[in-house]
Amino acid sequence: MLNPDFLKSGQSERLAFLEKPLPASVAEHLIALANTDGGMIVVGIKDNGDYAGGVERDTLSRLLKEAETQCSPSVTTGSWESVELEEGSVYALRVPRSIELHALTDGRVLLRDGMRNRPLGGQEILKLASAKATGDFESQHVPGATKDDFNKKMLEEYLAKRAERTKRPYNGKMDDLLREIGAIDNAGRATVGGVLLFSEFPQHWLPQAGVIFAKFVGKMPRGENNLAGYTRREELTGSLPRLVEAAWNLVWSEMAVSAVVKGLEREETYEYPQFAVREAIVNAICHRDYRIKGKRIEIRMYADRLEVISPGGLPGFITVENIVDEHFSRNPRIVNGLFQWGYIEELGLGIDRMLEVMDEAGHQAPEFDARPYSFAVTLRNARELPSAPDWARNTNHRQARALQYIRENGSITNREYRSLCQGVSAETLRLDLVDMVERGILLKVGSKKGTYYILK
């Protein structure tokens, strides 16, 4: 039995209400939800959320079977679950996101769009079919490309990095290794994965395998007089390892840097945590759908945020809700190749670490936007200002610096305090310390030249 609280927010992209459980209506909702991000169908409730009733559980199994006959291919679901309301019972059916493209037997293909099921046109169906396809594209051979197109220096670099990662050098035949990692197929032909990882210019065969970088002045892509608002635009090409490096260097060169003084040292603080940026770039290059032509990865740098947009929806059963806990890749050989190369630190833990470093740096959590044909990660550069700790309240700015110094170093001497607050008289600083001792904030230890202060 489900808790009815989830019904209070009303219909949405992942929650649909049905007043009357008709097979045709259930089939439409099954198709729309499965083709989008999954969700739940609840029967016995009106569109406005009011109880409608009139649903008998005994008929629901038969109803679902009839609805499934109108879906091609059929949609996998669970069983009906009861939801007890004050007025009576309604029933809910969970519909998972599907890795297949589903249509009604009359040919209509539907997507869940807000609170409605929207039919798709021809081009949209082709795009969705491409995004849903489960073929092993990275293992397909590339017409016109051979293993001779692989760059020898890149192969040597890969072997060295792989040996460093695995703690053992590879001493076998190169063709056997290339076949093992999926860079060539059994017939010795270069694959999509091999071309992307090892050829100097894979865009000759796969022009979609590039990155577009744009740095914008403000928070919107348009500038004054409706003109393009970017100050820098670069088109990056090359093998996937080189794309990772080039994209990272570009973002790094445009990233704002501020300086803070901690203790007696100056520490630089970057606009975004380095790991989070690098992870967003690597994930886009690893997991994008390389079947989608005419679309490249986009990195957009605005005044308030960094967006990394990857062509192709989330792979397999992955959704925004389970992206941290579940792991699935549409390009496992490419992922493993970049892992062995050292561009991925630990398989399956990148998103977790991205969340951690953003939180540690005081940023908002990364935002994930999953659509049928694309996936975007947004990093915000605004930091949340921490509230002052109890021990730093009711102190002047000099005393606050002294307390922070003690927190970081354990104690402070008169000389160290004078170095922190240059230009302030020694007598004023002595009185600052005396004041904090008298108020019970600090404890004075030692005497004369050996005096130092610690938190009480």
Taking only the tens place, the pLDDT of each residue in 155-209 is: 999 999 999 988 989 999 999 999 999 999 999 999 999 999 999 999 999 999 9
Answer yes or no: do 406 and 438 share one domain: yes
Is 125 inside any structural domain?
no
What's the pTM? Answer: 0.64
Answer yes or no: do 348 and 254 share one domain: yes
Answer yes or no: do 111 and 154 share one domain: no
Burial (CB count <10 Å: 0-12, 13-18, 19+), residue 119: middle
Q: Is omega for the bond preceding 96 within 30 degrees of 0, making it cis?
A: no
Answer yes or no: do 78 and 177 share one domain: no
Helix ranges (DSSP H) in 143-222: 152-166, 174-180, 192-198
Is 126 inside any structural domain?
no
Q: Which of 325, 245, 327, 331 is nearest to 282 (CA)?
A: 245
Residue 206, C-beta contacts closer than 8 angstroms, at least 6 positions apart = 142, 192, 195, 196, 290
Is 251 inside any structural domain?
yes
Answer yes or no: do 274 and 421 share one domain: no
Q: Can you list the residues of the chain whose pLDDT is less than 50? A: 385-388
Q: CATH number for the domain including 70?
A: 3.30.950.30
pLDDT of the residue at 387: 47
Q: Which of 120, 142, 161 is the last residue of a domain?
A: 120
Answer yes or no: do 52 and 85 share one domain: yes
The phi and psi torsions of 34 (rounded to 5 degrees) equal: -65, -35
Q: CATH number for the domain including 216?
A: 3.30.565.60
pLDDT of the residue at 402: 87
Is 82 inside any structural domain?
yes
Answer yes or no: do 261 and 220 share one domain: yes
Is 275 inside any structural domain?
yes
* Domain total in the chain: 3
At 454, the amino acid letter reads: I
- How many C-beta neighbours within 10 Å does residue 196 have? 27
- Residue 139 CA: distances (Å) to CA of 74, 234, 287, 290: 28, 30, 14, 12
At 216, the amino acid letter reads: F
Is 345 inside any structural domain?
yes
Answer yes or no: do 399 and 365 share one domain: no
Q: Which of 120, 154, 181 is the last residue of a domain?
A: 120
Answer yes or no: do 203 and 305 share one domain: yes
Answer yes or no: do 41 and 94 share one domain: yes
Is 105 inside any structural domain?
yes
CA dihedral 121, 127, 133, 139 (to 10 degrees): 150
The backbone region for 169, taken as left when phi is positive above 0, alpha when psi lies in -120 to 50, beta otherwise, is beta
- Residue 377 CA: distances (Å) to CA of 50, 301, 367: 37, 12, 6
- How many C-beta neighbours within 10 Å does residue 443 have? 13
Is 194 inside any structural domain?
yes
Answer yes or no: do 295 and 335 share one domain: yes
- Bridge partners of residue 3, in order along the sequence: none
Q: CATH number for the domain including 424?
A: 1.10.10.10
Q: Which of 327, 354, 384 is the last residue of a domain?
A: 384
Answer yes or no: do 358 and 376 share one domain: yes
Q: Which of 309, 304, 146, 331 is nearest to 240 (CA)?
A: 331
Q: Quote the CA–CA distance of 418 and 429 in Å, as a whole number.
A: 7
pLDDT of the residue at 388: 46
Domain that holds residue 409: 390-455
